[in-house]
């Protein structure tokens, strides 16, 4: 459990509104850094149990009282609830003035906190680029992870310090770029799961009994190449301009899993465009590929 009794003296009183998996992990990391978790507002029984387990000295109370008992409040509620929560608390005169108010949503910057900011709060968006499972090691997963940070200019040092104290690496994202930032993360992480699951399905259709064993080493190497070399790490028939092989892929997928064909075509076109721009694919090879892919539009 985290009690705020690390080798460093507690510097901030921390409150949590919405102690789910992410909020609990962040609060535990802050407790390890020497801050004190003083209060929490939890609706579900699992959230209440997390507070009792990890922050036994914290008082379970209503959101306005969490604000009153804290210097920094984590608003770690679902994205579509965040705006309404902030507006509702501001409308009831909750004590925002002078308090750091931080959320961990990737989709939002600090504009969603405007009602609190107008009431005197100090707004922070601190989004860890990591998924949390609710397991004991969640707090350790924060170490070395990048955080997408958006703050007013005067609060940049505060946002940076909090992320570093949690063991993360701050990456500052302008307010107007938060949607693009979050889309990029979703494009990679969310679609990767779909791609891997669909590839496993196709392998089973092809007769492979253990597709995960086949995909693991291949995807590990592909991810490493992509992160280290970018477009130069591209391999496969599209990057080679092998339109005959790609045509065979299109026919096979259309027969076995037609619902997956539009995604294959779209990704193959994007791969061809990137390979062409990187000088890996000739214009003539790209044209033949796009003829094969374009016939299926």
Strand partners, 13: 36
Q: Name the burial class of residue 215, with classes exposed (0-12), middle (13-18) and buried (19+) by CB atoms within 10 angstroms of its CB.
A: middle
Other beta carbons less than 10 A from residue 96's beta carbon: 23
Q: Residue 10: its pLDDT value, please? A: 47
- When the pLDDT of each residue in the chain is averaged and rounded to a whole number, the result is 93
Q: Give per-residue pLDDT as tens, 255-274.
A: 999 999 999 999 999 999 99
In Å, how far are 18, 56, 62, 124, 233 from 227, measured between CA atoms?
Answer: 34, 41, 44, 29, 8
| pLDDT single digits (tens) 31-46 | 999 999 999 999 999 9
- Contact present, 17 and 75 (Cβ < 8 Å): yes
Map residue 35 onto helix, strand or coil: coil
Question: What is the per-residue pLDDT for 2?
Answer: 52
Closest CA to 150 of 174, 130, 167, 129: 174
Cα–Cα distance for residue pair 229/66, rounded to 1 Å? 47
Q: Would you say residue 160 has pLDDT above 80?
A: yes
- CA-wise closest residue to 107 among 123, 88, 124, 127: 127
pLDDT of residue 48: 94
CATH 3.40.50.300 fits 13-173, yes or no: no
């Amino acid at each position: 459990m985290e009690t705020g009794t690390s080798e460093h003296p507690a510097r901030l009183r921390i409150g949590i509104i919405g102690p789910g998996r992410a909020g609990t992990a962040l609060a535990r990391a802050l407790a390890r850094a020497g801050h004190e978790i003083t209060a929490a507002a939890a609706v579900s029984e699992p959230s209440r149990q997390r507070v009792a387990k990890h922050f036994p000295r914290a008082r379970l109370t209503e959101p306005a009282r969490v604000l009153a008992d804290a210097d920094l409040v984590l608003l770690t509620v679902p994205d579509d609830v965040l705006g309404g929560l902030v507006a509702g608390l501001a409308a009831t005169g909750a004590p925002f003035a002078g308090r750091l108010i931080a959320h961990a949503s990737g989709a939002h910057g600090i504009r969603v906190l405007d009602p609190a900011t107008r009431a005197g709060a100090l707004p922070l968006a601190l989004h860890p680029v990591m998924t949390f499972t609710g397991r004991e090691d969640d707090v350790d997963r924060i170490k070395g992870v990048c955080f997408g940070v958006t703050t007013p200019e005067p609060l940049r040092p505060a946002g940076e310090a909090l992320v570093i104290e949690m063991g993360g690496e701050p990456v500052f994202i302008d307010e107007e770029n938060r949607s693009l930032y979050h889309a990029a993360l979703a494009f990679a992480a969310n679609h990767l799961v779909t791609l891997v699951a669909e590839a496993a399905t196709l392998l089973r259709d092809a007769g492979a009994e253990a597709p995960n064993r086949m995909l693991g080493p291949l995807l590990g190497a592909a991810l490493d190449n992509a992160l280290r070399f970018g477009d130069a790490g591209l391999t496969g028939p599209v990057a080679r301009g092998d339109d005959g092989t790609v045509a065979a892929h299109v026919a096979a997928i259309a027969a076995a899993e037609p619902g997956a064909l539009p995604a294959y075509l779209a990704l193959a076109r994007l791969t061809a465009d990137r390979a062409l721009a990187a000088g890996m694919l000739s214009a003539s090879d790209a044209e033949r590929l796009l003829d094969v892919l374009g016939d299926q539009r």
